[in-house]
Amino acid sequence: MSPVQAEPVPPPTVEAQLSSSGVTMDQRAGIAVLADRIYGHVLRVVMLDRLYMVEQIVWGELLRLGFPDESGELATALLSEALHRVGYSPERCVSTIPDGISEDEILAAEYDDDCVFCRCEVADMQYRLSGRKCHDRQRDAEEQDLRQFFEQAAKAWRADNAEALRRFGLA
């Protein structure tokens, strides 16, 4: 008989920690500002397009499992829980993969035939490495309008942030 492993107990929420520590209103305000700053930095370091892809795969898997999730609430909750778990995982602090190893090599080494996420990532990698992505003229034509939209949005963003960009010699 295998021993039963207890589920890890999640640490108390920020609110629970603040409530039990007797912080002042000024300290709470400072923590709120810090939380917003952390959120902004995390948004910059997370590959949001890949995160969105994962969420879409989750949604598809829920449908395949016969769970109706028309509004995507369960898919979003599962993704949110996974991100929460990452925040408390020891793996967030250190990578055991040496510098110089490509994302494709990591994918190959960690590939699992039974994992729909792995299969999707490998399909994307194969498409990218096949050269078809570079020669897909129809897709390029369809994306031209989108690229122009992004270029205009980038120009407007740079204009809105010109002072900050000049401060760092980026404008």
Tokens representing 56 are 């879409």
Q: Flag whether the pTM goes above 0.85.
A: no
**Local confidence pLDDT in tens for the 171 residues of the chain:** 445 555 666 677 888 888 888 889 999 999 899 999 999 998 888 899 889 989 989 998 998 899 888 888 899 999 999 988 888 888 888 888 888 898 889 888 999 988 888 888 888 888 888 877 666 656 666 677 778 888 889 999 999 999 999 999 988
Task: Count CB atoms within 10 A of the CB of residue 121.
Answer: 20
Instruction: Give CA–CA dist 27/19, Å, rounded.
Output: 12
Three-point CA angle 95, 105, 135, nearest 5°: 130
